[in-house]
Structure 1
Amino acid sequence: MRRIDYDTEQYQDYARGRALNERQLQTWISAFEGVLPERRPLTGLDVGSGTGRYTPALARTFGPVTGVEPSVRMREIAQERSAHPDVRYLAGSAEDLPVPSGSADYALLFLSWHHVQDKPRAVRELARVLKPGGRLLLRANFSDHHPRPWWLAHFPRGYEADAALFQPLHEVIAMFTSQGWRVSGFRTVVEPSPGTRADMLERLRLRTLSFFAQLTPDELEIGFRRLEEAVAADPGAPAPVFAEPLLTLERRE
């Protein structure tokens, strides 16, 4: 996987390219509610928070949240976009979380696990900052549980290149359980459509997905040409939905 420097790439378009409508956001918040304790408030961590897609909604629903993000530019945008009093953004990463031990009830990693360079260290660090019984919500893709979004088929090596970014599910589970975690649950979530196929094409053109950094210029040119031709046949059709994995892990007492 080619590493992406979000301070020089993608940060300007990320919020627009990865924006969620209210139905999409509420679908995920409801999924998180289903695996977190009912008591309120809960203290949370949004690890790899980016431009703050989820952080304010987590604060509104559960309680105070710290967004942890290594990119200066992404944190700046998140801070500009959020005025929620229970949200703060700090520099850090999954391997080096800038919060006290045992201070969080849950942590969310939403499509950021594949960016973590030292995963064994991150497993230990996440265990350090969560309270006993704390939950880790890992919305990650897995090479053997891949959502296969509709547009990938139009790019050369599309499914292959995207799946290569991710570990298999059993490998992720083994990494955590070997360090004392237990699996609390695994399910898929069907996120509502982001709009029409034409809407989705406009977002994809911003290239704010890690997948696009793995292709050659020729593959990108071919893929977008094919995708544009396919969308032109019915641009107003709703963008198809697909099932997305959510793994929940629990820090043992």
Structure 2
Amino acid sequence: MRSIDYDAEQHQDYARGRALSRQQLRVWMGAFEAALPERRPLVGLDVGSGTGRFTPALARAFGGPVTGVEPSDRMREVAHAQSRHPEVCYLPGTAEELPVPSDSADYALMGWSWHHVQDRPRAARELARAIRSGGRLLLRTNFSDHHPRPWWLEYFPRGYEADASLFQPLHEVIATFTSAGWRVAGFGTVTEPSSGTRAEMLERLRLRTLSFFAQLDPDELETGFRRLEEAVAAGPDAPAPVFAEPLLTLELP
């Protein structure tokens, strides 16, 4: 996997390229709510918070402060500029080195960020340090053996292969966390509403804010976008197809 320097490339387009509609955000928050304890308030961590697309929504939904932890200075700058919730803050840090006290959070979300973690066993231990007993981790990531099939991937050479190569199989991820004292609390999929029309999705894909695009060479990118543009031109106003995405929930005894 080619690492991505978000301070140098993507921070300016990430919020637009990865934006969620109100309906999509509502579906994800419903899935998170179903996986977390019913009591309120809950103190949260958004680990790998990026431009903060989930962080304020977590504070609103669960009634407690949320700390967004993000290593990229530029991504945090965008998040600060967009956040309007008084109980949200963003701090520099990583999953391996969280800038919070021990036993200080009721839950953590890692949304689309686990594949960026360099030292995963250390991150699993560090998350266990920061989260209280009985707390939960919402791990929204793909798995090489439980991989969603976004409709647009088929147009790129090595599309599914290149995307799946970014991720571990499910059993490896579970083993990493159980070795650090976690246990599996749930595993399922979430199907969010359509991201809009095919043409609208194409415009967001052109921003190349998905890690997948960094794994392809220039010829593969050119070929893929040409094929995708031809396919979209045949029905630009058709709704973008939906697909199911995995959500693994882990719990500290």
TM range (shorter): over 0.9
Structure 2: how far apart are the matches of 1:49 and 1:176? 20
- String of CA shifts for 1:188-241, please: whole Å, max 9, x gaps: 000100100000000000000000000000000000000000000000000000
- String of CA shifts for 1:150-169, please: whole Å, max 9, x gaps: 00000000000000000000
Which segments of 5 or more consecutive residues in structure 2 lack a partner in the other structure? none
Structure 2: how far apart are the matches of 1:117 and 1:188? 25
- Paired AA for residue 67 in structure 2: T
- Paired AA for residue 67 in structure 1: G
SS at match of 1:34: helix
State the shift of 1:148 in Å.
1.2
Residue matched to 2:154:
153
Residue matched to 2:19:
19
Structure 2: how far apart are the matches of 1:180 and 1:83? 36
- Paired AA for residue 81 in structure 1: Q
Residue matched to 1:220:
221
SS at match of 2:168: coil
SS at match of 2:35: coil
The alignment of Structure 1 onto Structure 2 pairs a total of residues equal to 252
- Paired AA for residue 37 in structure 2: P
- Paired AA for residue 89 in structure 2: R
Residue matched to 1:4:
4
Residue matched to 1:128:
129
Which segments of 5 or more consecutive residues in structure 1 lack a partner in the other structure? none
What is the correspondence of 1:1-253 to structure 2 with a 5 Å cutoff?
1-62=1-62, 63-252=64-253
- Paired AA for residue 56 in structure 1: P
Displaced runs of 4 or more, over 3 A = none
- String of CA shifts for 1:93-147, please: whole Å, max 9, x gaps: 0000000000000000000000000001000000000000110000000000000
- Identity percentage of aligned residues: 79
State the shift of 1:36 in Å.
0.4
Could you state the TM-score of these two structures normalised by the residue count of structure 1? 0.99
CA RMSD of aligned residues (A): 0.4
- Paired AA for residue 41 in structure 1: P
State the shift of 1:178 in Å.
1.7
Structure 1: how far apart are the matches of 2:125 and 2:189? 26
SS at match of 1:43: strand
